[in-house]
A and B are shown apart, each in its own frame.
Chain A
Amino acid sequence: MGKLGHTGTPAPHDSAIKQVTGRADYTDDIPEPIGTLHAYLGCAEVARGRIEGMDLSGVLAAEGVVGVITHEDITGHNDISAVHADDEPVFPVSEVEFHGQPLCAVVATSRDLARRAAELAKIEITPLEPVLTTREALAAGGPDVTAPLKLERGDAAEGLKSAQHRLAGQMEIGGQDHMYLEGQIAFAMPGEDDDMVIHASTQHPTEAQMIAAQVLGVPANAVVVNVRRMGGGFGGKESQMNLFCCVAALAARKFGQAVKIRPDRDQDMTATGKRHDFSADYEVGFDGEGRITAVEAQLAARCGFAADLSGPVTDRALFHADNAYYYPNVRLTSRPMKTNTVSNTAFRGFGGPQGVIMAERMMEEIAYKLGKDPLDIRKANFYGVGERDVTPYHQTVEDNIIARVVEELEESSDYRARRDAIMAENAKGGILRRGIALTPVKFGISFTATWYNQAGCLLHVYKDGSIMLNHGGTEMGQGLNTKVAQVVAEAFGVDLELVKITKTTTEKVPNTSATAASSGSDLNGMAALDAAEQIKARLVAHAAEKWGDVCNDVQFADGKVLCGGEEFGWREFIAQAYADRVQLSAAGFYKTPKIHWDRAKGQGRPFYYFAYGAACSEVEIDTLTGECRVLRADILHDVGRSLNPAVDRGQVEGAFIQGMGWLTTEELWWDEAGRLRTHAPSTYKIPLASDKPREFNVRLAEWSENPERTIKRSKAVGEPPFMLGISVFEAISHAVASVADYKTCPRLDAPATPERILMAVERLKR
């Protein structure tokens, strides 16, 4: 570890020792009080229907069952919608809207007994005709589950009409299950009066608190939500935990006991939302060099039965339908379609990846049409610096470094020579074909809901000099707590070990935003720095008062405090400050500057800045079986000035592999009855260690620093590298195209499973 573990050093994850010894407590590891009850959901087995009646006598008679929670037990308002759309009941009263929708919860003395008893619920439902897919919903003319968005600049219709070339395309883009290894879980403990303490694996403690209070019918100050750490989140625990928190709390209130709810993996996957699958339709006009003159596109999403976060997700798809490319004339529309499927939700990238992959498909199609290397088309369309720099949402790209990132990667990955070699090898006509692609990413950072861009921190310095740090962000493995602790240690010039990171709790920092949109360190790091600076200012004022003006310049460094030529140990200085009655605690706050967004006009500056990156992937496919292997991946990614290079590298590598999984092996499959048939790792395949690229070269762009005044000039890293996985998809496309001598851009939908690869190969062979 570097000096004192301050920012810029690869300090290990704050829980690493506990995690390697099995001593790190996740929510399910918290000791249960005697008498703890367990809840389990009873779920619908039709995709749509009218609820005629419920016979729960069998359930109630089953061994160990203490009771059942239905909509009749809801003492407050029966809605858990993250956006307060009033369209997402805890349990529906009259209509089932998707296969697997929770209808009741069985509460028993053990989880096993609750789960077995839940099977005994007899629910009479008159089936209605469901709408299951986006295309079906579009054909039926809607409805949209939330208001669509339009982004427009220039004259797209005229731009298309006057273009030298134009082409139209379609792409089906699959969804993705989060497959956090720790599933959803909430553990509620009733207290005196209306009080309720809920331990949950949630990325959004404040929302869980507000929604649980709303459902219980109590003020928010009666509910405390705690989360020490999560076993992965990826967006799947942003709003989806509301259901489990509410069920646990309702049951704890009704039965006066602690109640835990933890669905098994199959129920977790069927009852909670996923990444939206999209149907994209686009038309693009371009000149002989492949330079785009106009784009018109519609991005329609399968949102499921309720709004949840589908509005901002489909908005973000539009915000990223340009990726790194300048569209002189553009018209983009979103269609968030209501369907009788589980309500889709946040997932790393939040709609952005679906927009980006459409842009990348257009680049490929243009390249094949003109017989050029797709990389040259990409470069020809990059945003400029000082010109060609306005996005479809009228924000000017001020921090563009994409050209340098791509050039450096092109060279370090030896892209051109390898591409030539691969095409020469493919020309020999073997069964195994290789492909290579280099794709960029530009990703906008900030919540597009501007009010979400705020954060708080509570910082205590105790009189022995130890420091307790609490901020509103949650730790799901991304290393947020470590980064924020590094900021605080550096501010006080003390060793990282002096800073204790405590669980996130609504008791200490109120009104927090979700730990989402990659914003965790940007927001909470700044709030923590604000708190530290407040305490430091008081310490400096105190020193000046005590030792005179020479102490106006107090230095905090190396565990010491330097003041007017004198040197104090940190602990000694703090003990003295306490004795002299200096307040050693502060609440920090931060709100992101500069951003604004007018959704009705489709104009503004929704993003504080952009993060950039590029990846070059080489794959090999088997043209007889469709099997695919990633032989090599090279990545260059921009994290500004890294707060912690080890943590940031981890985010980049993990995001790439997760993005690769989204586009290759991870296939969500619903049958005609609307039943999810890929509902556990037995049938839903995330990447394995054996799927990792044979050669994997990952670098951070060390020269980059954020021109905006972010925490230590770093950049957000959670989501942007997810889209680097698109290079694998386009490399597959390249390999497939070889069977028809690259004359046609293969029609390839995502994920490119072996089945889809084989079908694409067969189509081209015809």
Chain B
Amino acid sequence: MSRIHVTTTINGDETEYLCEPQDTLLDVLRDELDLTGSKEGCASGDCGACSVMLDGRLVCSCLVLGAEAEGRAVETIEGMASGEELHPLQQAFIDKAALQCGICTPGILVAAKDLLERNPDPTEEEVRYWLAGNLCRCTGYDKIIRAVLDTAADMRGAA
């Protein structure tokens, strides 16, 4: 089968690629575009390590076909910092030691940023349930949840 030509926007940049019909968006990001920040944990939409934004919606990129990104906007972990300036969530994850092996971290940050954009003042319970789609095997989640809550408070203070 012939490869599919896709034109899309990734982290604000217009991007073109060729993909096989069965290639997932995660495959394309990692193997074609060298954006390896999104990780494959399960390839079945259960772990959240491959979380990206697609037209403003949080998705598992392992459940989206590469071809489906045509004409749409994709945001990945690589687009989260502006140049060398980290997003406040990224800084908080470093400061609060909210990561250990780090492989779930990109997905969790993408999901947490989406939460704070929808709800700048989430409760602890809302954070816990919002992040329930992102597995972390190392941290026990507590520091992650605190980092998100503290960042939300800081960002509200700064706004």
User: A20-B99, A477-B100 are contacts. A26–B39 as well, Cβ < 8 Å?
Assistant: yes
**Cα distance, A10 to B134, chains bound together (Å):** 26
CB distance from B141 to the nearest CB of A (A): 4
- Cβ of B117 < 8 Å from any Cβ of A? no
Q: Which residues from chain B contact A264 at a C-beta distance below 8 Å?
A: 43
Q: Are A653 and B140 closer than 8 Å at their CB atoms? A: yes
**Chain A 13-29: CB-based contact to B (< 8 A → 1; otherwise 0):** 10111111111111011
- Cβ of A500 < 8 Å from any Cβ of B? no
Q: Which residues from chain B contact A681 at a C-beta distance below 8 Å?
A: 41-42, 44, 46-47, 135
Q: Are A646 and B101 closer than 8 Å at their CB atoms? A: no
- Give the nearest-CB partner of B133 in chain A: A688
Q: Are B140 and A21 closer than 8 Å at their CB atoms? A: no
**Cα distance, A689 to B138, chains bound together (Å):** 12
Q: Are A21 and B101 closer than 8 Å at their CB atoms? A: no
Name the segment of A214-222, A224-232, A350-358 touching the other chain: A224-232
**Cα distance, A112 to B41, chains bound together (Å):** 16
Q: Are A13 and B46 closer than 8 Å at their CB atoms? A: no
- Cβ of B155 < 8 Å from any Cβ of A? no
- Cβ of B132 < 8 Å from any Cβ of A? yes
- Cβ of A674 < 8 Å from any Cβ of B? no
Q: Which residues from chain B contact A650 at a C-beta distance below 8 Å?
A: 97, 100, 138-140, 143
Q: Are A656 and B140 closer than 8 Å at their CB atoms? A: yes
- Give the nearest-CB partner of A112 in chain B: B22
- Cβ of B28 < 8 Å from any Cβ of A? no
Q: Are B44 and A265 closer than 8 Å at their CB atoms? A: yes
Name the segment of A179-187, A284-292, A310-318, A607-615 touching the other chain: A179-187
Q: Are B137 and A21 closer than 8 Å at their CB atoms? A: no
Q: Are A232 and B137 closer than 8 Å at their CB atoms? A: yes
Which B1-55 residues have C-beta < 8 A from chain A? Answer: 20, 22, 30, 34-44, 46-47, 49
Q: Are B97 and A181 closer than 8 Å at their CB atoms? A: no
Name B100's contact: one of A31, A654, A682 (CB within 8 Å).
A654
- Give the nearest-CB partner of A652 in chain B: B140
- Give the nearest-CB partner of B92 in chain A: A20
Q: Are B137 and A686 closer than 8 Å at their CB atoms? A: yes
Q: Are B140 and A22 closer than 8 Å at their CB atoms? A: no
CB distance from A359 to the nearest CB of B (A): 24
Q: Are A20 and B93 closer than 8 Å at their CB atoms? A: yes
CB distance from A121 to the nearest CB of B (A): 21
Q: Which residues from chain A contact B109 at a C-beta distance below 8 Å?
A: 20
Which B83-115 residues have C-beta < 8 A from chain A? Answer: 86, 90-91, 93-95, 97, 99-106, 109
Q: Which residues from chain A contact B44 at a C-beta distance below 8 Å?
A: 265, 680-682
- Cβ of A696 < 8 Å from any Cβ of B? yes
Interface residues on B, range: 35 or more
Q: Which residues from chain A contact B106 at a C-beta distance below 8 Å?
A: 19-20, 22
Q: Which residues from chain B contact A689 at a C-beta distance below 8 Å?
A: 127-129, 131-132, 134, 136, 141, 144-145
**Cα distance, A479 to B49, chains bound together (Å):** 21
**Cα distance, A19 to B134, chains bound together (Å):** 16
CB distance from A47 to the nearest CB of B (A): 25
- Cβ of A647 < 8 Å from any Cβ of B? yes
- Cβ of A657 < 8 Å from any Cβ of B? yes
**Cα distance, A665 to B91, chains bound together (Å):** 33
CB distance from B31 to the nearest CB of A (A): 9
Most buried by B among A12, A25, A654: A654
- Cβ of B76 < 8 Å from any Cβ of A? yes
Q: Are B145 and A10 closer than 8 Å at their CB atoms? A: no
CB distance from A576 to the nearest CB of B (A): 35
Interface residues on A, range: 35 or more
**Cα distance, A681 to B48, chains bound together (Å):** 11
Q: Which residues from chain A contact B99 at a C-beta distance below 8 Å?
A: 13, 16, 19-20, 477
Q: Which residues from chain A contact B143 at a C-beta distance below 8 Å?
A: 649-650, 653
Which A644-663 residues have C-beta < 8 A from chain B? Answer: 646-647, 649-650, 653-658
Q: Which residues from chain B contact A180 at a C-beta distance below 8 Å?
A: 101, 137
Q: Which residues from chain A contact B40 at a C-beta distance below 8 Å?
A: 28
- Give the nearest-CB partner of B79 in chain A: A22
Name B36's contact: one of A16, A28, A649, A682 (CB within 8 Å).
A28
Q: Are B138 and A232 closer than 8 Å at their CB atoms? A: yes
Q: Which residues from chain A contact B91 at a C-beta distance below 8 Å?
A: 20
Name B135's contact: one of A12, A17, A688 (CB within 8 Å).
A688
Q: Are B46 and A692 closer than 8 Å at their CB atoms? A: no
Q: Are B37 and A23 closer than 8 Å at their CB atoms? A: yes
Q: Are A182 and B93 closer than 8 Å at their CB atoms? A: no
User: A26-B39, A682-B44 are contacts. A658–B97 as well, Cβ < 8 Å?
Assistant: no
- Cβ of B80 < 8 Å from any Cβ of A? yes
- Cβ of B78 < 8 Å from any Cβ of A? yes
CB distance from B23 to the nearest CB of A (A): 8
Q: Are A265 and B140 closer than 8 Å at their CB atoms? A: no
User: A21-B77, A654-B100 are contacts. A265–B128 as well, Cβ < 8 Å?
Assistant: no
Dominant secondary structure at the B interface? loop
- Give the nearest-CB partner of A265 in chain B: B42
CB distance from A474 to the nearest CB of B (A): 11
- Cβ of A423 < 8 Å from any Cβ of B? no
Q: Which residues from chain A contact B129 at a C-beta distance below 8 Å?
A: 689-690
- Cβ of B81 < 8 Å from any Cβ of A? yes
Q: Are B47 and A29 closer than 8 Å at their CB atoms? A: no
Which A625-658 residues have C-beta < 8 A from chain B? Answer: 646-647, 649-650, 653-658
User: A230-B101, A477-B100 are contacts. A680–B46 as well, Cβ < 8 Å?
Assistant: yes
Q: Are B95 and A680 closer than 8 Å at their CB atoms? A: no
User: A15-B102, A230-B101 are contacts. A654–B139 as well, Cβ < 8 Å?
Assistant: yes
Q: Which residues from chain A contact B78 at a C-beta distance below 8 Å?
A: 21-23
Name A21's contact: one of B46, B90, B131, B144 (CB within 8 Å).
B90
**Cα distance, A476 to B102, chains bound together (Å):** 9
CB distance from B114 to the nearest CB of A (A): 15
**Cα distance, A13 to B139, chains bound together (Å):** 13
- Give the nearest-CB partner of A231 in chain B: B103
**Cα distance, A127 to B139, chains bound together (Å):** 44
**Chain A 302-337: CB-based contact to B (< 8 A → 1; otherwise 0):** 000000000000000000000000000000000000
Q: Which residues from chain A contact B47 at a C-beta distance below 8 Å?
A: 181, 681
- Cβ of A698 < 8 Å from any Cβ of B? yes
User: A231-B39, A657-B140, A681-B47 are contacts. A21–B97 as well, Cβ < 8 Å?
Assistant: no
- Cβ of A91 < 8 Å from any Cβ of B? no
Q: Which residues from chain B contact A293 at a C-beta distance below 8 Å?
A: none
Q: Which residues from chain B contact A680 at a C-beta distance below 8 Å?
A: 42, 44, 46
**Cα distance, A374 to B30, chains bound together (Å):** 53
Which A156-179 residues have C-beta < 8 A from chain B? Answer: 178-179
**Cα distance, A479 to B97, chains bound together (Å):** 10
Q: Are A690 and B46 closer than 8 Å at their CB atoms? A: no
- Give the nearest-CB partner of A264 in chain B: B43
Which A681-711 residues have C-beta < 8 A from chain B? Answer: 681-682, 686-690, 692, 696, 698
CB distance from B121 to the nearest CB of A (A): 18
Q: Are B103 and A181 closer than 8 Å at their CB atoms? A: yes
**Cα distance, A647 to B100, chains bound together (Å):** 8
Q: Which residues from chain B contact A654 at a C-beta distance below 8 Å?
A: 100, 137-140
**Cα distance, A148 to B78, chains bound together (Å):** 52
Query: Other than the known A681-B135, A688-B132, what 20 A-B pairs have Cβ atoms closer than 8 Å?
Result: A10-B97, A16-B94, A19-B99, A20-B94, A23-B78, A28-B36, A28-B40, A181-B41, A182-B39, A231-B102, A232-B138, A264-B43, A649-B143, A650-B143, A654-B139, A680-B42, A689-B129, A689-B134, A689-B144, A690-B131
Q: 12 A-B residue contacts at CB 8 Å?
A: A13-B94, A29-B36, A179-B135, A181-B41, A181-B101, A232-B101, A477-B138, A654-B138, A657-B141, A658-B137, A680-B44, A680-B46
- Interface positions of A (Cβ within 8 A of B): 10, 12-13, 15-26, 28-29, 31, 112, 178-183, 229-232, 234, 264-265, 476-479, 646-647, 649-650, 653-658, 680-682, 686-690, 692, 696, 698
- Interface positions of B (Cβ within 8 A of A): 20, 22, 30, 34-44, 46-47, 49, 76-78, 80-81, 86, 90-91, 93-95, 97, 99-106, 109, 127-129, 131-132, 134-145
- The 6 A-B pairs with the shortest beta carbon distances in the complex, nearest first, are A22-B37, A477-B101, A231-B103, A19-B102, A657-B140, A477-B100
